Structure 1
Amino acid sequence: MPQTKNLKLCCARRADVPDLFSFLGNPSAMEFTHVHQSPQECRRRVMVHEYFRRRDGCAPWVVRESCTNRIIGWGGLYQDPFEPGWGFEVGYFFHPKAWGKGYASQLVTAGLAVADDELKLPEVWAMAHPENRASQRVLEKAGFIFTRPLPERTRLLYRRNR
């Protein structure tokens, strides 16, 4: 499995869902994105993404902090089976205790390595909430360019060409 300086990136297992739900189901942690309403919804979403890994060659990883081996995030490169039509995108979702440590940037870099080196994608998309300046900075630092607002989704659309 891939690793970054501080992260271990793993395929999701059902046993990971309670730890993932601890932040994916937390309204304050997911203030700018989708909040899972139940452990069952979280399990379904995570496992459907994992199913699509075989088709697409990528899906969100379970993110573990290397020094503790604790699950602290979920994300990477994927095509969203629940909102199709956006193409390949990067996304990242972290437990609040992991915020501000540069982990989102490491995860985006790992996802873009898959896009560039393995899948040879011509472009990758990303979205950020207009009020989530930290997420916007992560994308800009990774070479994403603001493309346009998506008012119907309350998002800003970003694109990165290979």
Structure 2
Amino acid sequence: MEIETARLILRPPRLADVPALFAFLGDPQAMRWTRIDATLRDCRRRIVAHERRRRHDGYAPWTVRAKADHRIIGWGGLYRDPFEPGWGPEVGYFFHPDVWGRGHASELVAVCTTLADRELRLPELRGFAHPGNIGSRRVLERAGFALVRAVPEMNRLLFLRARPRQAAG
């Protein structure tokens, strides 16, 4: 299933996507605020682990392509993290540095919150951001997530967004 926004095409990742995803998921500078995949094999494992969760939960991160040229520019969406279990449904986003600062993360998060509220009817969503990643913190705050607390063992800030009452129906 593909989802299109004004500028993005979202679809489940394919193994053929791994080299393009590794271009940023394996880039130490691009991933300085989060987990980095050291090898193509690690990247493939990440994708496969999340796809197993998709079969179980019905949602997992998408490969994000630019609508203009169909280039893979990101990876993210709704998920239950198979590597940090127990937090519940989360929203996450990872983009190639070439497209940072252009609102793609906000566009992706808007799709996630709509899907979580209207179709999946999830009571709440979480998001994590490194304390120093101001851009990511702003994306979450603009999408209605509130800072809950620091999670020192992860070196992250935990944000929470409850489903709005009008979507609770």
Distance in 2, Cα, partners of 1:50 & 1:109: 21
Output the TM-score relative to the length of structure 1: 0.98
- 2:135 is aligned to 134
User: 1:35-94, CA deviations, whole angstroms, 9 ceiling, x for partnerless residues?
Assistant: 001000100110121121121110000000000100000000000011100000000000
- Partner Cα separation in structure 1 for residue 120 and residue 39 of structure 2: 33
Number of the residue aligned with 2:106: 105
**2:31 aligned residue:** 30
Counterpart amino acid of residue 156 in structure 1:
L
- Counterpart-to-counterpart distance in 2, 1:120 and 1:29: 33
Which aligned runs of 4 or more in structure 1 are off by greater than 6 angstroms? none
Pairing 1:87–2:88 present? yes
**Which residue in the other structure is 1:159 paired with?**
160
Does the residue aligned with 1:92 lie in a helix, a strand or coil?
A: strand
For 1:9 and 1:113, how far apart are their aligned partners in 2?
14
How many residues are treated as equivalent by the alignment?
A: 162
Identity, % of aligned positions: 56
Map 1:110-125 onto structure 2 (within 5 A). 110-125=111-126
Structure 2 residue runs of 5 or longer lacking an equivalent are: 164-169
Give the corresponding residue for 2:56. Answer: 55
Paired with 1:90 and 1:38, the residues of 2 have a C-alpha distance of 24
**Do structure 1's residue 42 and structure 2's residue 43 form an aligned pair?**
yes
Aligned to 2:56, the other structure's residue is in SS state helix
